[in-house]
Amino acid sequence: MKTIIVVGLGAMGASVAEGLRTPTSKIFGIDNDAATCKIAVTEHVVDEIIKMDNLLVRNADLIVLAGPIRMIQDQLQLLQTMKLSGETIVTDIGSTKSEIMESAKGLPNFIGGHPMVGTDKKGIRNRNKDMFVGKPFFVVGDSQKIKLLSNLLEPLHSDIQAITATDHDKLVTSISDLPHVAAFALVNAIDRELPNNQLGWQGSVAGGFIDTTRIAQSNPELWSQILLSNRDSVVDGIDQLMTTLQEYKLSLIENNDKKLTEHIAEAKRIRQKVGELHE
């Protein structure tokens, strides 16, 4: 029987908890929110709610930290004072890994984790235990311990990939942080171009706007923390995006159809290649 503890039972944490359930595992949950804890137990997301200071925490097989980044960092500090069993593997599902690996320095059995899935929905009711299936799940740390973690995470059926923290953060900036910043900024910019719902724009958008800005509905506190925890890399990414926008602007000012078409054709080619791998 494996003892697995998931700390933070929001949409992501609850999905992990439910996804890890097997006949040979016992899943415990920790969460600050009483209503979430109640749902977690009554809907069998976890077997039991416990406290962070419980004996179970010190002797668990796996502890998954699934709250916002700063909470993960606080919990990593706390776990370092708790005399965990040498068998206990600790992981997280926060985004940025360099800062987290730094915070986890005193935990010998910590492996950083980051499943490449997400949701703009908040809370335990929006869990989906199948969201990890076939999706990349990046792990950062010692290769022997990665093997142990991979076995424990097997019920999620994700595609576990080892990566360095630096490479991970560069990758995540590009493919996750930057799309979020672009979606946030696009909505802000349109609201300024057409303030107070001028021309009824909010009722006139088509599918392009809807899709492009879907992730602008993500949790503000969570995303502010994610972006700040990876800020050097995100600032680089924003600079690159602004450079690219500047090129589009220049092609327009120069009335340069050829150059503009080339930029777009290049974007289309790259995006279609991604689509072939994913859709």
Under the criterion CB under 8 A, does residue 267 sit at the interface with a copy of itself? yes
Residue pair 66/92 in contact by the 8 Å Cβ criterion: yes
Q: Is 58 in the site for a copy of itself (CB under 8 A)?
A: no
Q: Which residues of 226-252 are buried (b: 16+ CB within 10 A; e: fewer)?
A: bbebbeebbeebbeeeeeeeeeeeebe
Q: Does 236 bind a copy of itself (CB under 8 A)?
A: yes
Q: How far is the CB of 260 from a copy of itself (least distance, A)?
A: 4
Min CB(269)–a copy of itself separation in Å? 9
Please choose, out of 21-29, 56-64, 74-82, 254-262, the segment that lies near a copy of itself by the rule CB under 8 A.
254-262
62-91 residues near a copy of itself, rule: CB under 8 A: none
Beta pairing partners, 2 = 25
Q: Quick one: 85 or 204, whose CB is closer to a copy of itself?
A: 204
Is 117 one of the binding residues for a copy of itself (CB under 8 A)? yes
Site map for a copy of itself, 171-190, x if CB under 8 A?
A: x-xxxx-xxxxxxxxxxxxx
- Which segment (41-49, 81-89, 142-150, 168-176) binds a copy of itself by CB under 8 A? 168-176
Per the structure block, which two tokens stand in for 142? 């010692």
In the window 201-230, what residues touch a copy of itself (CB under 8 A)?
A: 201-218, 220-221, 223-225, 227-228
The piece of 26-34, 75-83, 112-120, 141-149 that touches a copy of itself (CB under 8 A) is 112-120
Per-residue contact flags (x/-) with a copy of itself for residues 3 to 42, judged by CB under 8 A: ----------------------------------------
Under rule CB under 8 A, residue 123 binds a copy of itself? no
Min dist. Cβ of residue 65 to a copy of itself (A)? 20
Closer to a copy of itself by Cβ: residue 55 or 206: 206
Minimum distance, C-beta of residue 275 to a copy of itself, in the bound complex (Å) = 7
> Can you give the chain as a three-state secondary structure string?
CEEEEEECCCHHHHHHHHHHCCCCEEEEEECCCHHHHHHHHHCCCCCEECCCCCHHHHHCCEEEECCCHHHHHHHHHHHHCCCCCCCCEEEECCCCCHHHHHHCCCCCCEEEEEECCCCCCCCHHHCCCCCCCCCEEEEECCHHHHHHHHHHHHHHCCEEEECCHHHHHHHHHHHHHHHHHHHHHHHHHHHHHCHHHHHHHHHHCCHHHHHHCHHHHCCHHHHHHHHHHCHHHHHHHHHHHHHHHHHHHHHHHCCCHHHHHHHHHHHHHHHHHHHHHHC
CB of 184 to a copy of itself, least distance (A): 4
